[in-house]
Amino acid sequence: MFKVRFSLLIVGILGTNGNLMGDHWKKLKYSHSAFATESRGKIIESNPKEKESFSASWINLENNKERIGLSSKVNPPRSGHISFVVPVSDDVESTREGVYVFGGYAEDMDDSSDHVIRYSTNDLWHWKPSTRTWEEIEAIGKAPRPRLVASCSFLDDRPVLVGGWDPMDVGTGGVILDTISELDLSCMEWKDFEGLTVPGKSGTSRHISVSLPPDRKTNKKRLLIHNHRCTDHVLLLERDQNESPRIRRQLTTGDFPSPRGLHAADLLGDDTVVFFGGAAQNGSMSNEVFILDLDSWKWTRINSRSTGPSERAAPCLCALNNRSLVMFGGAEATSTGLRARGDVWALNISAKDRQCKWDLLLDDQGDNDKKVEEGYAPHPRNAATLDLLEGFSLGEHMKDNVYYLLLHGGWSPFKKTFNDNFVLQLSEN
């Protein structure tokens, strides 16, 4: 079975008319009238007297060819895409290993008018660590329709694509999707889960999905789905060798999150899912941390022992080990509108007292020496992907006991869509 490490794939993307489209998100607009609050938008400084849990730095792959290097890029630039990692494994051909990107909201130039055009896409790209190249993959089978703000996590040994939004033509509002598809990595073939859709009247988008360990009693493979409809429950997509996949409601108890989308989540250890941030339908944003115990199915709102990141939607969240996660970027609300963030935080969770501690590792400028303007750190953004490069060799200059994560794509609201590639280095102090 794959040991899955993946990034947060829930992002806030504008339709061409400026709205977050979809029946349940029509009220959510990227304008300061919807998101305005005077208490947000502040860069929070870490406590200089308290030792940080990690040291962090960025590598721009396009400026560091002598170290890691990058000889090709994903085109066109995009945001709101999904990503997944096929790790080093005896069960998979070495040619399949690496980071994959699917779909998203592409930004391109119309040659006939020299105007920027934006559209959803369904292309599949593969980043090969051995050659540090991006290559478009021509998968076989029925490709999923174009979409953004979907989710993708592993169910057993296959990445499973859930829901999403296809904006289609300008002014139509598009369609919120309820379909579920999987990618057979042995032959790179897309397959639909025939007759199986996400529960609800109108599909799901801006949700999260998390790959879970097999059920201890039944050994069923499991994938958790959480969207704005999940209040007293989560959705479990399950499969075993003798049954077709099915979705069921798993009831939960405790202090559960208020309805939200554009939030982030990842599996911590084998029995805990960590949730962070997100946006409600009325536009209010959150910086809350919740954990869901997979044995008791009880929610707990985690108190922080330190000042943490601002309220935001569409950040990246990635587990590093059994106690720590890293959070990057997102978009926050200010009195003048949406503001993209480029800060990096470590989130350390104590299993004993169910408290957490935030450490600001890098601010929006990368650090004191390597500035964004000089190309040494990524521009602030949301709707990006961040993936842990576990077990991959990225060159002779790699260090032992250091975490490496690949940042790709994203969007600075109303400014730019990115297709750059950065590696985040994290070493424990």
What is the structure's pLDDT at 88?
82
Which amino acid is present at 33? S
Put the strands of the sheet holding 140-141 in their side by side order: 140-141, 189-192, 175-184, 158-166, 151-155
Query: What strands, in cross-sheet order, belong to the sheet with 298-301?
Result: 253-254, 298-301, 289-293, 272-276, 264-268
What count of Cα atoms within 13 Å lies in the side-chain half-sphere of residue 265? 30
Q: Is 250 exposed, middle or buried (0-12, 13-18, 19+ CB in 10 A)?
A: middle
Cα angle for residues 90, 91, 95 (degrees, 5° grid): 80
DSSP 39: T
Tell me the Cα Rg of the chain: 20
- Mark the ranges of the chain whose per-residue pLDDT is less than 50: 1-50, 66
pLDDT of residue 402: 92
H or E segment and range at residue 385? strand 385-388
| Alpha carbons 129 and 193: distance in angstroms, whole number | 31
Token couple for 379: 């521009």
What whole-number distance in Å separates Cα of residue 315 and Cα of residue 261?
12
Residue 95: strand, helix, or coil: helix
What is the model's pLDDT at position 338?
94
Q: What is the token pair recorded at 126?
A: 């593969």
Question: What is the number of other CB atoms lying within 10 angstroms of the CB of residue 79?
Answer: 30
Rounded to the nearest 10°, the torsion over CA 75, 76, 80, 83 is -10
What is the DSSP secondary structure assignment for residue 240, as one 8-state letter? -
Looking at residue 69, what is its pLDDT? 61
Measure the CA angle with vertex 181, ends 177 and 185; round to 5°.
Answer: 150
Domain 32-428 has CATH 2.120.10.80: yes
* Span 359-410, pLDDT tens digits: 999 999 887 566 788 888 999 999 999 999 988 877 666 777 899 999 999 9
User: pTM of the full predicted structure?
Assistant: 0.87
Residues 6+ apart with CB under 8 A from 109: 115, 116, 117
- What is the number of residues in the chain? 429
Q: Taking the mean position of all CA atoms in its chain, how far away is CA 400?
A: 26
DSSP 281-326: TTS-BB--EEEEETTT-EEEEPEESS--PPSBBS-EEEE-SSSEEE
How much is the pLDDT for 291? 96
Cβ neighbours of residue 139 closer than 8 Å, sequence gap 6 or more: 124, 183, 188, 189, 190
Distances (CA, A) of 336 to 35, 38, 281, 349, 383: 9, 9, 20, 34, 20
What phi and psi values does residue 374 have, to the nearest 5 degrees?
-90, 0
Token pair listed for 424: 């985040």
Residue 243 burial (C-beta neighbours within 10 Å; 0-12, 13-18, 19+): exposed
Helix (H, G, I), strand (E, B) or coil at 178: strand
Q: Which residues contact 370 (CB under 8 A, 6 or more apart)?
A: 57, 58, 376, 377
Dihedrals phi, psi of 335, to nearest 5 degrees = -70, -15
Handedness of CA 126, 127, 133, 134 (dihedral sign): positive
Burial (CB count <10 Å: 0-12, 13-18, 19+), residue 64: middle
Instruction: Estimate to the nearest angstrom the gap between the alpha carbon of 259 and the chain centroid.
Output: 18
pLDDT of residue 369: 63
Residues with Cβ within 8 Å of residue 398, at least 6 apart in sequence = 404
What pLDDT is attached to residue 368? Answer: 59
